[in-house]
Structure formats: C-alpha cells, structure tokens
A and B are shown apart, each in its own frame.
Chain A
Amino acid sequence: MNIYIRKFWSYKDLLFELVNRDIKLKYRRSFLGYLWTLLNPLFIMLITTAVFSQIFRFSVENYPIYILSGQIIFTFFSESTTTAMNSILGNASFLRKIYVPKYIFPVSRVISSFVNLLFALVAMIIMMVIFKVPITWHILFIPLPLICIFLFCTGLGLILSVLAVYFRDVIHIYNVLLTGLMYFTPLFYPVDILPNVIFKLMHINPMYHFVTYFRSLLYMGEFPSLEQNILCMGISLSFLLIGLAFFKERQSKFVLYI
C-alpha cells in the first residue's frame, strides 16, 4: 500500500500537467477563455428554465437554482466519465511506448472535469445571490457531496476506460445510457410529480442520491439525514474500490489491445 502511495506521489507533477493541459486545450483560441466555464452552465440554465417553466409549468420555488444545482452535478458526472472512458484509447501512443502508471490518464480527466465543476459552483453561488436564495451555513458542508461524486466518477471512469479498450461499442452504449439517466434523474422536474413506482425505482440510480444530497445542502439549506450520508458514501466508496480493482486486474493486459 505504501509503495502505491509513494509511486502516485512521484507522478503528481505529471498528473497536474495533464490536468492543466486538458483545461488549456479546452479553451484554446477562444476569446473568453476560462470565462466559459462560468458562462456555459448559466446559458444552459437560462434555456432549460425558459423551456421547462413556460411549457411544463412545474411549481418549484426558485426554479432556476433548482435546475442549476442538478445540472452542474450531472454535467460533471457525464463529462468526467465520458472523457475518462476515452482516455486510455486516446493516449494509446504513450502507453505503448513509455512506462507511466496507466490510471493517471482516466484520473487526470476526472480531475479536469472537477475543476470545471468548481468554476460552475462559483457561477451557481453568484446566481443564488442574484435570485436572493438564502445561503445558509450548510454551504460549509459542500465538500462532502463533491468528494463523494468525485470518487464515484473516478471509479466508474476507471471501469469504462478499460471496457472501451476491449469493446468500442461501450462508447456508443454509454452515450445512450447517459441520455436516459439524465431524464431519470430529477434535474428539471420535482420528484413529487412522479408516480410512486417510478420514484421507488429511481432509488437505484446513484445520481439521484448525489443530486438530492447536493441540493439539500445548497438549495434546501438543510443537512441530509444519516441514511442519506451513509448511502452516498457507501455508493462512492464501493464504486471507487471496484473501479481500482477492476483496473488493476486488467492494466497489464490491455496494452496489447490498444
């Protein structure tokens, strides 16, 4: 265990550089640059608010903030896992020719997305001030759900990155699944409009729990129940451990397939 940590530490500069490069490349040659990390979620929020509050007329208090709080979490989830999934294939030229710890590529992608999430979080807090949503002391606990989601996405990203090496179909299937999952997570609608059966079914969706946790702190201003805490940490830790084990088991083999 100690060896792993020391090795990870010796490659921290590489990890940092990869993250830096991801973020730089994303906004290269764009006039507004990093400002887009703030503007993007805001524009999406404006559109979804306009669409859903005018057409579906859900009665949710502070609807723009409700949407935004779900949106930024889900965007992080889909962006980080998708880019992590492609990271091993995308860096095949390195992995075939030079020794580097292979997990560094998927992990760096999740971290890059996480940095974007932090920017988006700033955007959200600005919006909360503008819409006069009360900001309570619960906001101090915001690292808790963020860490949970980060670990969850890391684990899932590791698994997907290996699967994509063996079966390229996974990339397409996952895109479809993500769209399905987006509607199966209460991002735009309140859960109380759902029929009871579907609401019960929704509990198997990890994103439902993370979004709910995040919302209780920021949007509702209340601390989640003990049950919710255990559930979120349990999900994220088990995904992380499964992901690490899955990746470790196969990492010496998939070099031959990329």
Chain B
Amino acid sequence: MNEYAIEVNNVSMLFNLSSERIDNIKEYIIKKIHRKLTFENFYALKNVSFNVEKGDAVAIIGDNGSGKSTLLKVLAGIYKPTTGTATVRGSISPLIELGAGFDMELTGRENVYLNGLMLGYSKRFIRDNFNDIVEFASLWDFIDIPLKNYSSGMLARLGFAISTIVKPDILIVDEILAVGDIVFQRKCNKKMQELMSGGTTLLLVSHDLNEIRRICNKAVWIHQGGVVKIGEVSEVCNAYSDLR
C-alpha cells in the first residue's frame, strides 16, 4: 500500500482582517445598519496542494508571513481550512510554537503532565516516562519552578522532549529548535534522525538552509500563500537562495 502520510488538497485559508475589531453587539448592529461591515479578506493559503510520502523529511521554506505556520496549524488540526482538505494519516506531534500548550504559571513538572495530556497521552504513560522526558531536556534543576522563569531555550527543550517521547508517525517542528544551545540542537538532530529511521515523517520549518539540506530530502517553497516550487531539497533550496 502506497498511502501518503500527508495529503494536502487545494487548501485555502481565509482570514477576516476586519479593519477594526468588532467584538461587541452595539458596534456590530451599527455597522450592519450602515453597511460598513466590510471585511478585508486575506488568503493566508491559496490552493495549496502537495503530498508527503511516509518516511519523508520535508522542509517548508519561504519568507516571513508567507503562510508556513498557517499551513502547519492546518495540518495539526488547529485551523480548519476554508476550502479544500488536509488529510493526515497517523499520530501527529506538533511543535508549532514556543511554549504551546504550556501554562506559564505552573511548574515544569505540572506542565509535563498538562502538555502530555493535551497531546492525548494517558496519565499513566506520562508518569512512566517522566524521568526520560526530564532527562532528555536536562531540566532536573528547574523542574519544580514555574515556567515563567524559564529561558526560551529551556522551553524549547521541554517542548521537544515531551513531543518526541512517543514515536509519532508525523513530527512537525516549527523553527523552535533554533533557540536551543548547540548541545541541545545536536541532541535534537540525533533524535530526529532516530525517529526518521524508525519511519517517522518529518515536517520542518526553518530558515537555515544548511540545516535543511542536511536533514530533509524534500522541500516545499511557499510564497504569499501559494506553492512556488516543490521537489528535491537541493533543487528547491537553490532556487530559493538564488532568488533571495
């Protein structure tokens, strides 16, 4: 069976960038009466289609604001596409943003549980793997202090450690690893290689073309919400760096 791990079919994502934010009834009614309820429609993604085979490591490149993160959020199920379909086969571990799914007031320990539960792990599973998670993030000294006192590198470490404790079918990494120190980046790379050799499909957003060339085998270049080029990693990276 040659099923794709990810199928993105004509996905468009429409945001209403209303010039003024309307969140109370009075304004809504007044604007409605005056027919001023105009929304500036903005397509963050326009007819994006591509497929990812199982075991591929796909880089998503493009300028800031080109729609990379929106695409990842659609794949993670946070956004539902306005039109089109995005099918993801298998379990998915999304590392979308720094500190996603963390409560900054709670301690590291409490957050391991909270975040793990939000990823759909059972409580028993988290308890059994708690030591491994903290060990991988090397955060033993800070595990009982609130997350608001963590550095961004420490947050990234904790997030990565929790999401990769299971072998996900699909791992999404959105440039958060860049904030980790060199020791941790090496550790992460090793872990990603390990997962990939186990059959995990990787989706990586990064601006570091060297890193992308090293880790990925395919690449998708997105510009202003549309796919510009898709193919082998060297091809797409060369085309992108030539233009920029």
Binding site for B on A (CB under 8 A): 10-11, 13-14, 16-17, 21, 94-100, 166-169, 252-253, 255-257
Contacts and interface: CB of A to CB of B under 8 A. Distances in A.
Interface string B75-102: 0111110000000000000101101110
B77 A99 contact: yes
Given A17-B113, A97-B97, A99-B76, A168 B23 contact: yes
Contacts of B121: 13
17 contacts: A14-B118, A17-B113, A17-B114, A17-B117, A94-B101, A97-B96, A97-B101, A98-B119, A167-B23, A167-B25, A167-B28, A168-B23, A168-B24, A169-B25, A169-B26, A255-B79, A256-B16
A169 B94 contact: no
A252 B123 contact: no
A13 B25 CA distance: 37
Contacts of A100: 118
Contacts of A253: 80
Given A11-B120, A14-B117, A98 B100 contact: yes
Contacts of B101: 94, 97-98
B171 to A, nearest CB: 14
Interface in B13-44: 15-16, 23-26, 28
B71 to A, nearest CB: 15
Nearest to A14: B117
Contacts of B78: 95-99, 255
A146 B78 CA distance: 34
A10 B114 contact: no
Contacts of A256: 15-16, 79
A45 to B, nearest CB: 34
Interface in B120-175: 120-123
Contacts, number: 59
A169 B101 CA distance: 28
B94 A99 contact: yes
Interface of B is mostly: loop
B210 to A, nearest CB: 28
Contact of B118 (A21, A98, A252, A257): A98
> Sorted from nearest, which 10 A-B pairs have the closest CB atoms?
A97-B100, A252-B80, A14-B117, A98-B101, A99-B77, A13-B123, A169-B24, A169-B25, A98-B100, A97-B97
Contacts of A21: 114
Nearest to B14: A256
A99 B170 CA distance: 14
A98 B94 contact: yes
Contacts of B120: 10-11, 14
Contacts of B16: 256
B96 A17 contact: no
Interface in B185-219: none
A99 to B, nearest CB: 4
Contacts of A168: 23-24
A14 B94 CA distance: 18
A94 B122 contact: no
A17 B116 CA distance: 11
B37 to A, nearest CB: 13
B84 to A, nearest CB: 13
A177 to B, nearest CB: 14
Contacts of B24: 167-169
Contacts of A97: 78, 96-97, 99-101
B75 to A, nearest CB: 10
Contacts of A14: 117-118, 120
Nearest to A15: B117
Contacts of B26: 169
A97 B118 CA distance: 11
Contacts of B23: 166-168, 257
Given A98-B76, A98-B78, A253-B80, 20 more contacts: A10-B120, A11-B120, A13-B117, A16-B123, A21-B114, A94-B118, A97-B96, A97-B99, A98-B119, A99-B78, A99-B94, A100-B118, A167-B23, A167-B25, A168-B23, A168-B24, A169-B24, A252-B79, A252-B80, A255-B79
Interface in B97-113: 97, 99-101, 113
A95 B97 CA distance: 12
Contact of A98 (B15, B28, B96, B122): B96
